[in-house]
Amino acid sequence: MVRYLRPLMRGTTYTRLLHLWVPVLLVSVWLFIDMARPWVPALLMIPVGLIPAVRRGEGLQARFMLTPDESDSGISTAPSATWGDRLRTVVWLEARMLLGAVTTFLTVWMPVFAVDLAEASLGPEQHGNPVLRIAEPHWGYAFLAPLPLIVMAAAVVGLGELITVLARRLLGPSAAERLAALEERTERLLERNRIARELHDSIGHALTVAVVQAGAARAAGDPAFTDRALGAIEETGRAALEDLDRVLGILRETERPASSRPTLAEADRLLESARASGTKVDAELSGPLADVPGPVSREGYRILQEALTNVLRHADGVPARVRVAVAAGRLDLEVRNPLPVPLPGPGRGSGLRGIRERAALLGGRAHTGPDDGDWQVHVELPLG
């Protein structure tokens, strides 16, 4: 029994009832003007529904009164963009007016019927009811008196659900709006993945360098070397904080320009950080790195950073050869180091996957893995 009464305890049931009553106000005003033609308001809804802004107003009202507790109501608040949207708005207005009339009839006459049945069970003279005529009073009508109220309650709940379903169908997003929403959601996911890669590359690199340098300083037992290592850790930490500020700035300010991220013009900073960790780095940078397009240069920097981080993390102490060249309309980036024993295991998986994803997003290609006794990361990125 409680389950059947639960819908009557929800506030949404009564906001939907108000939503159904609203169109009847227009009809009531018109009946004071011309009671002989009550169909005129329904006729007027046709040109009104063709106005683009009406769909937006109806959508806002439907969201507020039909689905007040739902974050994703499935009801659009955009104005009509096509004739299909306009026609659906017209059908919605007519359906809303029709269901409003039915609701008003039931909520007015069902209580009247209940009162008449109760009076008929007591035996006094009946008032003139044009719908329900009781010829002879009888005590048995007392058992029927609650029935109209039950019908009214069920109708209020049912018609509220029906108008909500119609709102989602007739005021729901069009195909173009759904496509735009899907594209926006895809852009958000891509942006979140990019930010995750930024955090992984910058913070992961800084932590790896700091751990390697701290371990080397403790093992060396040389105060001078320890001072240099601490200075390098400080510099690496400061650079990581700058990168973290950039990423957090992107999260806080969606319009923040991507140009604030580091580029290959700052590759020397990565090389010096790796060298300060005790790794011998033989670097060869050629070509106009400063002229590399921004997206390619920024992703190239992150690829180089991840490759050097992997050298420090998985092949501590081995020398690394770095080659960055700009020529023939492409950027070639290669990092090689002798294969350590044992071979790099699954720990490199996320970093190598990030390198391949960055290359693929720019239409390039990446080769990672053993090559002629070395571990190689070789990436080719088109400049145009």
Q: Comparing C-alpha atoms, which of 118, 312, 142, 280 is closest to residue 211? A: 312
Distance between CA atoms of 384 and 382, rounded to whole angstroms?
6
Mean pLDDT value of segment 87-97:
93
Residue with tokens 């390039």: 364
pLDDT digits (tens, 9 = 90+) for 271-314: 887 787 667 888 999 888 888 888 888 888 888 888 888 787 76
**pLDDT for the residue 179:** 66
| Residue 101 token pair | 């009339």
Query: Has this prediction a pTM greater than 0.85?
Result: no
**pLDDT for the residue 346:** 45
Q: Which residue has the higher pLDDT, 34 or 226?
A: 34
pLDDT band at 10 (very low <50, low <70, confident <90, very high): confident
Give the Å distances, CA to CA, from 249 to 59, 70, 277, 303, 325. 35, 31, 29, 21, 31
Beta carbons within 8 Å of 344's beta carbon, 6+ residues apart: 310, 314, 315, 375
| Residue 214 token pair | 């701290």
Phi and psi, residue 155, nearest 5° = -70, -40
Task: Indicate if the pLDDT at residue 97 is higher than 80.
Answer: yes
pLDDT band at 162 (very low <50, low <70, confident <90, very high): very high
CA 197 to the chain's CA centroid? 19
Half-sphere exposure of 167 (CA within 13 A, CB side): 29
Distance between CA atoms of 127 and 137, rounded to whole angstroms?
12
Phi and psi, residue 325, nearest 5° = -135, 140
Contact between residue 326 and residue 295 where contact means Cβ atoms under 8 Å apart: no
Distance between CA atoms of 362 and 360, rounded to whole angstroms?
5
- Which helix (H) or strand (E) segment holds residue 322: the answer is strand 320-327
**pLDDT for the residue 64:** 92
Torsion from C-alpha of 80, 84, 86, 87, nearest 10 degrees? -160
pLDDT digits (tens, 9 = 90+) for 191-245: 676 667 667 666 776 777 777 777 776 766 677 777 777 777 777 777 777 767 6
| DSSP structure class, residue 329 | T
pLDDT band at 249 (very low <50, low <70, confident <90, very high): low
Q: At what angle do helices 175-220 and 294-314 cross, to 10 degrees?
A: 40
pLDDT band at 341 (very low <50, low <70, confident <90, very high): low
**pLDDT for the residue 347:** 45
pLDDT digits (tens, 9 = 90+) for 269-278: 888 877 876 6
- Quote helix, strand, coil % in the chain, to nearest 5: 65, 10, 25
